[in-house]
Structure 1
C-alpha cells in the first residue's frame, strides 16, 4: 500500500490503529519528543528523538529499531531508515506515518528503549497554536467542543473570524483530530496565511453520534438543529469575549460533511456571514433564494464518488431537495447570484498531489487544491458583510 493511501482520511472512515497504546515501563529513564508537522494529508510523524543520560552506551544502529502499527486489517512492521546519534540522544528517522495512527517502537537491543505513542511529546506544528474551548448545552443547543486560534492583536484592531467545519472522518470527542487529519483548519493559522490575512480561526468538533447518515441513524451532522444553534451561540459568545473580532467579516467554510454544514448555516443565518467557501458538499436547493446575494466560492472535483457533484446519495439526503454543488451553482446563477465555482478534473487533482490514479475515491479530496488556492483565500478575506 502506498505512503499516500496510508496517511489520509476520508469522509466516513478514519484509519486508527487498534494497537495497545499504554505507556511502557522502563528501568532506564529517558524522554521522547516527536515531530509531526501539518500537511495536506494530516499531521505525519517524521522523526522521534530520545533523550537520556549516556544513551551512546547502547551502541545503537537503525537496525535495532522496529515500528509497528495497524493499517486497515494488517499489522505493519517497518525498520527505521536512519538514526542520528549523540552522547545523550538518538534521533530516529523513518517513512512518515499518520499522527492519528497509534504505534509502538521496539528496540531489539534493549527493552528499556521500547516506546509507545503515549510516551512521546509531539511538536504538531500549526495544530499546537489552537486552544480548547467548549459550548455548554442549553435547552436549544447541543454541547460542542471546539478549538480556537487567537491572533496577536492590538486593542483597537478589528480582524475577521473563520469558522471551519470538518468532514465526517473527524467526528468524535477528543477535540483534536479535526486539527490533525488535514491542514484545512490549521492552514488558516499558518504563518503564510496569517501574515497576509490575520484572523481568528474557530474549529468545532461534531460529536460522533451526530455524524450524517440518514440511512442508518437519521442524523444529519452539522445540520442538526441543536448543532446549528450551538454554532450560532458559540460565534455570538466569542464576539462578546473577543471585541477585536470584526462582526462584518465572519466567514464560513468546510469540506464534505463540513460543506453540507456550510450550506446549511448560510441558508439558515444568511445575515451572519460575509462569505462562504463550501468544498465538495451538498445543500438544500430550495433554500438558495436566501443566499443569492452572498459572496460564495464553491469547489468540487468532477469525478467525486463520495459526494457526487451533481446528484445525491441516500445517506446524506435528509430531504428530497438535497443536491450536489454544481446543480446548486446553476440554481444560484438562475437567481442572479455571482457565485464563483471551481471544478477540479482528475488532472487538476494529480497536480495537487492527490493520487486519484491509485484510487478513484481520492477524487473526493477537493479540499487539497481548494485550500491551497491563494486567490480563493485572499478573495474570502476581502469580503465584507454590510448587514452586520
Structure 2
C-alpha cells in the first residue's frame, strides 16, 4: 500500500528539517566568554564551547584559539590587535562553565598574565574620545584541530562578581548631569548591614560602571572572602563622569582648589543609604585609589562624622593643601593608608607620608599605614616578590586584603591579634 504525502506537507517537512539543521549548525559555532578581574585588570580567562552532542572526553591540545581586538573609540597598537591565546586546560562543563562528567559544552582555560595584553578586553588610552580604560571588541576564533570545526560567534559573556552587581544606577548630581554607579547587595543580610564605598582611579571614569569594578579588581569587595569579615555588606561603586580631581575648568587639582564632584558624590551616597534603610549608618566605610583616594579623603575632611573608617591607597591629595585645622578635625576617624615608596604618580613624600605624620602628631590613635618598597606579584605565579608592578598600583594590597603591616613594619593588632586591612575595617563602628 503506497503512502502519499501532499506537496504542501513535503515542503513544510523540508523547511522544518532545514531550520533544525541550520539551528544545529549555528549552535555549534556559539561560544561564551568568561572575563575575570585580576590584580592588573581584566582578562578573558575561559571560553565555553557548545557542542553538537554530549561528550565525556576532551583534550586541550586539540584546540587552537586566536583573538582579534578592535575599537572604534581608541587606537590599539598593531602588535596588540591580533594573536594566539594559549590553551592550558580543558574540561567538560555546563553552559556556565561548571565542570560535569558528561555534557554538551567544553570549557577551555586560557593563559593569563600581566604581560599578556592580548588577553585583556580593555584598552587604556591617555588621550582621545575614550580616555582611560574602555572595552574593546573581542572576537575569538576557536578551532578543533581534529575535526576542523570552528567556533566564531559570541553568544554570552560571564563576568564573575560583576554579574552580582546592579549596574543600572544613575544619580542626577546636577541639573542635566548624572553619575553612574554599581551596587552590590549582600547575599546574607543582617538586620543592619554595613556599606563599603569604593572610589576608582583616574582611568576608570565615564558612564559604564563595569570599568571601575574590573579596572583594578574593585569587585573583590563583593567576594565571599571579604564579605565574610563583615557578615555581609553592601558595596557601592560610584563612577565619575570625568576625573574626581577635576576643578571647574576640567584641570586636575591636588587639593589646592575645590573639585566639582564631591558635593554631588556625597549626595549620591546619602541617597543610596536613605533608599536602603537596612544599611547600618554606624558602619559606612569609604576608600579609593589615586584620584579616588583623593576623593575618599576629601569626603572625610568634609564630613568626618559620617564615616566609620577610611581605607585609602595611592593617595593623590597633597599634604600642603590640607590645613592643620582640617587635620585636627579628622584625627579621630579610623584610617588605613596603603602606598608604595616607588610611586612616581602620587609621590608619597608629597601626599601620604606627611599626611600620616601630621595626623600622628595631632594625636590620631586608630591610624595605620602599610608602606611598601614595591608592589609585587602577590599570587606568586609571575615571579612573586621579584616581579614588580608599577609602584602606583598599591591598591592591589587593599583589593586582595593583603595589607597587614603598619608604618614601622610591625603587624597591625586588633584586641592583641594581628589583622588584615579588611578584618580591621569590619570591626570599626561609630560610637
TM-score w.r.t. length of structure 1: 0.76
Whether the 8 Å CA contact 2:344–2:392 is kept in 1: the answer is: yes
Contact 1:166 1:255 survives alignment (8 Å) = yes
Q: 1:159 to 1:203 in 2, by over 3 A?
A: same
Structure 2: which 5+ runs fail to align?
Answer: 1-23, 71-75, 93-101, 113-118, 123-135, 403-418
Q: Per-residue deviation at 1:143?
A: 1.6
Decide which structure has the larger Cα Rg and report it.
2
Residues 163-206 of structure 1 show CA distances to partners (whole Å, capped at 9, x for unaligned) of 110111211211211111232x2222111121221211100111
Tell me the equivalent position of 2:164.
129
Secondary structure of the residue that 2:329 maps to in structure 1? helix
Residues 272 and 225 (structure 1 numbering): CA distance in 2 closer, same or farther, change over 3 Å?
farther
Deviation per CA, 1:133-179, whole angstroms, max 9, x where unpaired? Answer: 1112335x95211011111456x711211111011121121121111
Distance (Å, rounded) in 2 between the aligned partners of 1:163 and 1:27? 47
Q: CA deviation at 1:254?
A: 0.7
Corresponding residue of 1:113: 151
Mean Cα deviation higher: 255-264 or 98-107: 98-107
Give the 3-state SS of the residue equivalent to 1:157 in structure 2: coil
Q: Partner of 1:272: helix, strand, or coil? A: coil
Are residues 1:77 and 2:83 paired? yes
C-alpha distance in 1 between matches for 2:254 and 2:156 = 33
Distance in 2 between the 1:292 and 1:130 partners? Answer: 34
**Alignment coverage as a number of residue pairs:** 338
Q: Does the Cα contact within 8 Å between 1:151 and 1:199 map onto a contact in 2?
A: yes
* Cα distance change on mapping 1:289 and 1:79 into 2, 3 Å: closer
Greater relative contact order (Cα < 8 A, sep 6+): 1
Contact 2:195 2:233 in 1 (8 A): yes
Residue 258 (structure 1) shift? 0.9
SS of equivalent to 2:37: coil
Measured against aligned partners, the alpha-carbon deviations of 1:36-56 in whole angstroms (never above 9, x if no partner) come to 333323332221112143599
Deviations 1:303-361 (A, max 9, x none): 111111112xxxxxxxxxxxx10111111112111221110113x635565878666x6
Q: Is 1:331 the counterpart of 2:358 in the alignment?
A: yes
**Bigger share in strand:** 2
Task: Give matches, 1:276-295, under 5 Å.
Answer: 276-283=310-317, 284-286=321-323, 287-295=326-334
Asked if the contact 2:244/2:292 (under 8 Å) is kept, the reply is no
Give the superposed CA RMSD. 3.4
Distance 1:186 1:92, change over 3 A: same
Structure 1 residue aligned with 2:223: 190
Write out aligned runs for 1:117-196 (5 A).
119-132=154-167, 133-139=169-175, 142-152=177-187, 157-183=191-217, 185-196=218-229
